[in-house]
């Protein structure tokens, strides 16, 4: 069911004007009650694709009205006389929604913003999962066990911060961008420290396929990173479970990071450079796909100063990532020609 409930707490002195405006938006049901002596409570049941427009208006109002609060609540079930007879109108609705379905479906900007902020936080849970996945991946590479490496990628929470970097870049939110970048680098740093320690104290596993495959980079690795980033961005837009898509992103980030750390610990700088190049190519390819998907989805801020910042940040982020990917592609080709 694509319905959501918006609860709005409105001070009495502003109720009439705001109530009149809210009633103009498309809605399934509209309830008004007295929340207290000073505030009224309005509940609006709307289709999910109508939520963002209403929240944008409420966000503008909340900047100038004291005591104004808004809640967004997902609706699991809604039954009314109209819903019972909805199936008879299904064919008509399909025709009307053809244009809507041609666009990228996504959650509201406000929901995505909250998710991105959560993904960019460095928490104990995030740190422990990165630590455990790094240990498992390193042992898997040393044992030349593909199954163990895949298991490590399942538990590695590397998708959140990377996708959040692209999301904040599109919005021009430099504070969120910086925090997400720090979270991503923090995760990679933990992986490197663990794998460097393994590489320093043991030289086992430095000649097997799992290790050697992650110390070489080719142009075919760019489509892998782009596909991973696109899948991660689409999953994020629709608030889908990130577990399976997270594996795709971890494929591109975790094993080559482990190989780079093992190479540094062992003193194999040539192999470390190859793994570093692979990690960089994958990260930039993921970001290129993600910023492109987010730009096409129509995510835009509302406030004037944020709109101006986003109008500059959006094309710059796309151009910057494209330039980096092209430079890396040239470096890869030159390296192959030398070999």
Q: Measured between alpha carbons, how far is 172 from 107 in angstroms, rounded to an integer? A: 19
Q: In degrees rounded to 5, what are phi and psi of residue 63?
A: -75, -20
pLDDT at 272: 92
The whole-number average pLDDT for the span 249-254 is 78
Asked if residues 110 and 119 have their Cβ atoms less than 8 Å apart, the reply is no
Confidence of residue 124 (pLDDT cuts 50, 70, 90): very high
Q: Measured between alpha carbons, how far is 93 from 10 in angstroms, rounded to an integer? A: 34
Q: Is the pLDDT of residue 101 over 70?
A: no
CA distances from 139 to 132, 197, 247, 333 (A): 11, 12, 18, 32
Beta pairing class for 39-47 and 69-74: unpaired
Asked if residues 205 and 186 have their Cβ atoms less than 8 Å apart, the reply is no
Give this prediction's pTM: 0.71
Angle at CA 300, nearest 5°, toward 21 and 284?
160
Within 10 angstroms of residue 69's Cβ, the number of other Cβ atoms is 15
- Mean pLDDT taken over the chain: 82
Confidence of residue 95 (pLDDT cuts 50, 70, 90): very low
CA distances from 188 to 23, 29, 134, 157, 323 (A): 49, 48, 9, 11, 23
Q: Measured between alpha carbons, how far is 268 from 196 in angstroms, rounded to an integer? A: 11
* Residue of 332, 151, 331, 171 lying closest to 251 (CA atoms): 151
Which tops the pLDDT comparison, 218 or 193? 193
pLDDT at 194: 94
pLDDT, tens digit (0-9, with 9 covering 90-100), for 220-231:
888 888 888 888
**Percentage of the chain with pLDDT > 90?**
17
């Amino acid at each position: 069911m694509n319905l959501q409930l918006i609860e709005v707490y409105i001070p009495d002195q502003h109720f009439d004007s705001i109530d009149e405006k809210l009633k103009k938006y498309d809605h399934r049901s509209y309830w008004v009650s007295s929340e207290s002596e000073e505030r009224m409570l309005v509940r609006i049941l709307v289709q999910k694709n109508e939520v963002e427009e209403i929240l944008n208006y409420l966000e503008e109002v909340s900047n100038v009205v004291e005591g104004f609060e808004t809640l967004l609540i997902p609706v699991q079930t809604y039954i009314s006389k109209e819903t019972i007879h909805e199936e008879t109108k299904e064919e008509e609705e399909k025709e009307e929604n053809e244009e809507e379905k041609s666009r990228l479906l996504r959650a509201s900007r406000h929901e995505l913003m909250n998710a991105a902020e959560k993904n960019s936080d460095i928490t104990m849970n995030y740190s422990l999962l990165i630590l455990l996945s790094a240990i498992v991946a390193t042992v898997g590479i040393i044992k030349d066990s593909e199954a163990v490496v895949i298991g490590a990628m399942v538990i590695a929470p590397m998708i959140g911060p990377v996708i959040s970097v692209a999301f904040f870049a599109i919005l021009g939110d430099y504070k969120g961008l910086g925090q997400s970048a720090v979270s991503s680098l923090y995760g990679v740093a933990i992986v490197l420290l663990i794998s460097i320690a393994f590489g320093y104290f043991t030289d086992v596993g430095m000649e097997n396929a799992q290790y050697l495959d992650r110390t070489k980079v080719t142009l075919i690795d760019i489509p892998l990173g782009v596909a991973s980033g696109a899948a991660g961005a689409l999953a994020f837009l629709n608030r889908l479970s990130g577990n399976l898509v997270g594996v795709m992103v971890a494929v591109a980030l975790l094993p080559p990071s482990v190989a780079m750390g093992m190479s540094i610990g062992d003193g194999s700088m040539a192999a470390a450079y190859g793994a570093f190049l692979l990690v960089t190519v994958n990260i930039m390819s993921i970001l290129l796909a993600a910023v492109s998907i987010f730009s096409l989805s129509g995510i835009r801020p509302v406030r004037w100063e944020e709109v101006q910042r986003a109008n500059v940040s959006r094309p710059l982020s796309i151009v910057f990532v494209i330039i980096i990917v092209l430079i890396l592609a040239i470096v890869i080709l030159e390296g192959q020609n030398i070999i």
